Structure 1
């Protein structure tokens, strides 16, 4: 990981835990370059990542203003674990580990991922209780070829913390899908739906820094509990007069 990405993650953490509060200015580029002992160009790259991620707004003559991130309950973009969201947003939550065992990847998922039907995975099912009600059902499939062992304690606590900090792997990107689907019998058995007939489903194929696919995840959410949001920033239209094909 490059230095400016490390600085981005450090400042992101400070914004999430409200060391830097909404409406406040970040330290100047000069102060940040001294703090991290890097060039101002490196700081600018980190600030540009914060800008693109919706954490700050740059204002000429003032600096970088921290934006209100409380609206980012479940951001569409980015890769954030439930544990990180729970801590950042002070969610009164409990995780129930329903299943953690090695088995063959379900055939329909193997076909979707274009892997062989005899691919072994850690199949992990976790229920998320918020204020005493089960409102999320997380189903994860992690390839044993990449994640050889997965203790119950780590599966219950945080998969990404275990993968990154214990196994030393770098999680990089994911392809995501968001749909509304009829609730299954499993949803009705394991979630507190209050008669809801549908749930919000997010599906992700997650890759490491070297592009290795290591995880397929399906997260099923009760309709009334969570809002999925994205930070969008308008880009100036491309000047077609200045482009050419060679």
Structure 2
């Protein structure tokens, strides 16, 4: 199989960014300099830079060139409701979802507390590992009411549950209540994540609602602490 030269250049530059050889907030060499370095045409260099930009490695700066982005951390909005798929689309092939567990079952007592019900309603339990740059760094555990979200499959869970809910089922996801804590890793975290010796996990617990205020999902998202930066926009009120 023949590999296009721009892909080889992309792989080399992406590797240098990941390893810190090309540092965040610094400018890449110019297109002419890169063309000389890699003995390639400027068109080939442009294709490689376009792919780097699409995958979140660089940002084109008008009149200045291409600035290296900080790929060691990924911005996760606190106040917004953004699916991993929507974040992953910005990273291209850097990100992947692996479904570890999918089963429809009765709601266990500890999950009933989150849904504030004494009934053993049917739910989907979905466990997914999020892989970025070939490391398992997020463990997502989702519990969704089967009555609201029927017909889940592994393929849907690999792609986007939210896209399925909104685009196929025609339901409107409205808001979530979130709690963020720092905790010791569980045995499950250690088994499924590449913790690299970290002895803490950032846990985001979310209760998610439709626009009629019906809660349909409880999520526990467990993050390796070095990879994620949680961001929000705050406005002072008087």
| TM-score by shorter chain over 0.5 | yes
Q: CA deviation at 1:151?
A: 1.6
Q: CA deviation at 1:148?
A: 1.9
Report the count of equivalent residues. Answer: 175
**TM-score (normalizing by structure 2):** 0.67
Q: CA deviation at 1:22?
A: 9.8
Aligned mates of 2:132, 2:119 — CA distance in 1: 36
2:117 aligns with 115
1:232 and 2:225 are equivalent in the alignment: no
Specify whether residues 117 and 192 from structure 1 end up closer, same or farther in structure 2 by C-alpha distance, changes over 3 A only: farther
Structure 2, gaps ≥5 residues long: 1-53, 63-70
Aligned mates of 1:185, 1:228 — CA distance in 2: 25
1:61 aligns with none
Aligned pairs (5 A) from 1:47-66: none
Q: CA deviation at 1:189?
A: 0.3
Aligned mates of 1:91, 1:171 — CA distance in 2: 27
Structural RMSD (CA): 2.6
Specify whether residues 209 and 157 from structure 1 end up closer, same or farther in structure 2 by C-alpha distance, changes over 3 A only: same
1:33 aligns with none
**TM-score (normalizing by structure 1):** 0.65
Structure 1, gaps ≥5 residues long: 1-15, 25-69, 238-246
Aligned mates of 2:227, 2:78 — CA distance in 1: 16
2:205 aligns with 203
* Cα deviation digits, residues 53-87 of structure 1 (max 9, x gap): xxxxxxxxxxxxxxxxx997101001010000111
Classify the secondary structure of the residue corresponding to 1:73: strand
Aligned mates of 2:140, 2:74 — CA distance in 1: 19
Q: CA deviation at 1:105?
A: 2.2
1:93 aligns with 95
Aligned mates of 2:91, 2:235 — CA distance in 1: 23
**Counterpart contact for 1:106–1:117, Cα < 8 Å:** no
1:183 and 2:185 are equivalent in the alignment: yes
